[in-house]
Amino acid sequence: MQDIWGGFDFSYLLSVLLSVVPSLVCITLHELGHGFVAWKLGDDTAKCAGRLTLNPLKHIDFTGLLMMVCFHFGWAKPVPVNMSRFKNPKKGMALTALAGPVTNVLLAILFMVLYGLLVHPLSVSSVGRYLLQMLSLGAYISIGLGIFNLIPVPPLDGSKILLSVLSDERYASLMRYERYGMLLLIVLVATGILGRPLSAVISGVYNGFLVPVALGIEKLVRHFYYR
């Protein structure tokens, strides 16, 4: 038991625990983004279904949440959309689908701006450092959720965006495989076939764009604090 206890990776367990709250925030705002844009474009299906809410329980798909906590990319329960209610159905569906990933990009930037603003006051305590870790994890998870959902495989958002460029016949043919799409994605992620390159892309965006945002804000705070 001592050997098992000594060899247990507590840092991974802590990372998983700290990922839960950011994952719920990212999932909730992602789906809220879909529902809000659909409502503004004329479809109140999501609103009538009670999905225009900040209550994460309305949006959680537990398999998708588990994937997000463990792999830092996943999915939520799809917001119901009736594209026939849009003035331009194809354009409306594409904009509604795009709203989720765009929301995640903006949320990731917000997380890193907050990190840059709060890194000095929070880094002096252990609780503060955990909060900073949650902010950085939140940014990584949010950008991961956004990028993952842009994959053009049903039922992810990328497949809905394809609607604006494909003919109705080709799109209908693609959506026949929607029921198998998520199972295929889980297998591809779990085996690393999709998981490794996807992680590389997410890490590249995180390190190449989001981290510089936090560093830039931190530098500004230092400048005004010490001048």
Q: Which residues are catalytic?
A: 31
Helix axis angle, 10-40 relative to 62-71, nearest 10°? Answer: 130
Cβ neighbors of 6 (< 8 A, separation 6 or more) are none
DSSP 8-state code for residue 113? H
- Alpha helices (H) in the chain, listed in sequence order: 2-7, 10-40, 45-48, 62-71, 89-122, 126-149, 157-161, 168-175, 178-190, 195-205, 211-226
